[in-house]
């Protein structure tokens, strides 16, 4: 069995480094939301990875894998000073949207995220507070969809659901229980 040799290096991403982070037990995040809105996507958990559910011909749905909604926001933490892409549960996303429903944007809103228990899958909690002057010193708003597509290995050029390259890339992730497989 021969390896798949590459002739060209993969072009570097033009996205700034924005790590996807989940709140761990015993830890939390306090910071300002850097996105104007939250972004949600139905997902499948495959091979220790969360991958998006695609509109038509979804390999996860065809494999009868459970679907769960994930929500994402940009978050700027002060100590240490970091800009993150944070994963939220639907309940927390609802609380954030409900608390700030009178605001035209979530950008600059102050939140405290923690876990209720000691398990990695224990309930995620949020405290929301108004923060008037938060927008002035925030980093630029990240493109959540572009960052998620990059994390999932799905380039923006392959974003169209009917693009065969996009569908093949998604199917690669689902083959072999989430491990990338060679496409014949």
Summarised one tens digit per residue, pLDDT across range 68-96 is 999 999 999 877 788 999 999 999 999 99
Q: What is the pLDDT of residue 180?
A: 40
Can you tell me the distance from the alpha carbon of 21 to that of 18, in angstroms, rounded to the nearest whole number?
A: 9
* % of the chain at pLDDT higher than 90: 28
Q: Residue range 58-74: average pLDDT?
A: 89
Look at residue 32 and tell me whether its pLDDT is greater than 70.
yes
What are the tokens at 163?
């693009």
Q: Which long-range contacts (CB under 8 A, 24 or more apart) does 135-138 make?
A: 135/107, 135/108, 138/32, 138/34, 138/76, 138/107, 138/108
Phi-psi region of 14 (alpha: psi -120 to 50; beta: other; left: phi over 0): alpha
Could you tell me the pTM of the whole model?
A: 0.74
Q: Residue range 119-132: average pLDDT?
A: 86
Can you tell me the distance from the alpha carbon of 133 to that of 147, in angstroms, rounded to the nearest whole number?
A: 26
Q: Residue range 136-156: average pLDDT?
A: 80
Q: Residue range 12-39: average pLDDT?
A: 83
Residues in contact with 75: Cβ distance below 8 Å, sequence separation at least 6, in sequence order: 29, 31, 32, 33, 34, 83, 84, 85, 86, 111, 113
Cis previous bond, 128, omega within 30: no
Can you tell me the distance from the alpha carbon of 79 to that of 77, in angstroms, rounded to the nearest whole number?
A: 6
């Amino acid at each position: 069995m021969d390896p798949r040799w590459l002739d060209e290096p993969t072009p570097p991403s033009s996205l700034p480094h924005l790590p996807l982070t989940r709140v761990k037990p015993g830890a939390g995040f306090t910071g300002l939301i850097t996105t104007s809105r939250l972004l949600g996507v139905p997902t499948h958990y495959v091979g220790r990875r969360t991958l998006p559910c695609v509109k038509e011909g979804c390999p996860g749905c065809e494999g009868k894998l459970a679907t769960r909604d994930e929500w994402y926001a940009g978050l700027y933490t002060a100590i240490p000073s970091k800009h993150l892409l944070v994963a939220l549960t639907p309940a927390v996303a609802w609380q954030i949207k409900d608390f700030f429903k009178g605001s035209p944007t979530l950008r600059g809103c102050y939140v405290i995220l923690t876990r209720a228990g000691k398990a990695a899958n224990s309930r995620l909690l949020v405290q929301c507070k108004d923060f008037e002057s938060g927008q002035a010193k925030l980093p630029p708003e990240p493109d959540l969809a572009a960052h998620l597509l990059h994390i999932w290995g799905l380039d923006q050029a392959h974003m169209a659901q009917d693009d065969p390259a996009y569908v093949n890339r998604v199917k690669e992730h689902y083959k072999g229980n989430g491990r990338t497989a060679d496409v014949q």
